[in-house]
Amino acid sequence: MQRNRFDDYIRRFNQRDTTAFEDFLAPDMVCLNGGLEIHGVEGMKAHYAKIWETFVEELNVERFVSDDHTLAVRMRTRFEADRDDDDSLFGPVEKGQQYEYFGVILYEIDDAGRFSSIQVAYNHFQAISPEGEVSEMGMPH
């Protein structure tokens, strides 16, 4: 996959455009993210709908490597709660609470140019309180 095509996916993801899942994910895609296993386009939509009801999420690609069937990125992702939520994906949060993921994501690409598999590896995941206190979380899922 070419970098400009992947950048389009990231841009649309950051805009909460769920049609990116329809355009970039294979119908039988499997995503392994920590202890989570997400299946298909509808599974991804449901997972991110839960995140996006509480958090503004921004993906930032720091390194990109790709060929026709495999793509890997070093990614930094920031989540910021835009409301208080006693039942967020990360547990109770207050507005302004932030989380930061840093790690590597491996995408396998099918013959149609869509992601058939996504595997998320964690280097670190931090919680940042509204006051700026940082704590390491390990894997949140």
Tens-digit pLDDT profile for residues 85-134 = 999 988 899 999 999 999 999 999 999 999 999 999 998 889 898 888 99
Collapsing DSSP states into helix, strand and coil, what is residue 108? strand
> What amino acid occupies position 132?
G
pLDDT confidence tier of residue 137, bands split at 50, 70 and 90: confident
Closest C-alpha among 125, 111, 22, 129 to residue 76: 125
CATH classification code of 3-136: 3.10.450.50
Is the sign of the CA dihedral 138, 100, 77, 74 positive or negative?
Answer: negative
> What amino acid occupies position 133?
E
- Evaluate if residue 141 carries a pLDDT over 80: no
Q: Which residues contact 121 (CB under 8 A, 6 or more apart)?
A: 103, 104, 105, 106
Residue that has been written with the tokens 């598999």 in this structure = 117
> Is 0.85 topped by the overall pTM?
yes
Token pair for 52: 């996006």
Q: Which residues contact 124 (CB under 8 A, 6 or more apart)?
A: 100, 101, 102, 103, 136
Collapsing DSSP states into helix, strand and coil, what is residue 83? coil
- Evaluate if residue 49 carries a pLDDT over 70: yes
